[in-house]
Structure 1
Amino acid sequence: MNVVKSLCILGLVLVSLIATQAADEQVVGGVSQLEGNSRKEALELLDATLAQLATGDGPSYKAINVTSVTGQVVAGSLNTYEVELDNGSDKKQCTVKIWTQPWLKENGTNIKIKCSGDDGELDRTW
């Protein structure tokens, strides 16, 4: 009887270990919070994309305070930022989505900016 109890306990421990490891792995196509080097690279992408936007017909924004950065692999990379943007005269809380497809020579980057209090959404591709 003690052997059966021991085997049951061992089985439960193994199942919980497997479940814990599976929970730590990133799901392909799933959204994950970016940390460490991945977050740093995503913030560099945000700054570079906002600078590129300013050279065209888009507004000139600077990221002041980034509160959240998530990443997702979807036919390229989709990064979503919760960020405070400054256009020189006004600061706004915004959601910025940058979708990159680096293998495309044209139209490989798309940026969407939706700010609280604004009706529309900026949507540019280059």
Structure 2
Amino acid sequence: MSQDPPRHVRDVMTRPVVSVHPDASLVEAAQLMRAQDIGEVLVADGGKLLGVLTDRDITLRAVAEGVDPLAVTCHAVCTADPVTIGPDEEVAEAAALMRRHAVRRLPVVEAGRPLGVISLGDVTEPP
């Protein structure tokens, strides 16, 4: 019985990258999430990943604190310097990183540039 070759992140990640400028308001980010039917956007400037902003970040770090979502920037609320993975890493490594850091999604980055996102659903789907 032959074993399947390892799957790589680039083969299962979601593209294209959905990102916002660091100075975008939380309302802009939330509207983009709704339009794209996603729970996370990457915060990037000039093609460089600065952070990750999730719907949960908006809820807990902004709305629950009573801040004006039109006045606060995405960069102020996002998770800066997120855990990332490279496109040529194996899917099993992505799963291990998600487990270790208790996250459901990882930005896929190459040379500092975001290429896509790999989610928990991507790593658990059969090949």
Normalising TM by the smaller chain, what interval? under 0.3
Larger Rg: 1
Higher strand share: 1
TM-score (ref. length: structure 1): 0.23
| Higher RCO, Cα 8 Å, sep 6+ | 2
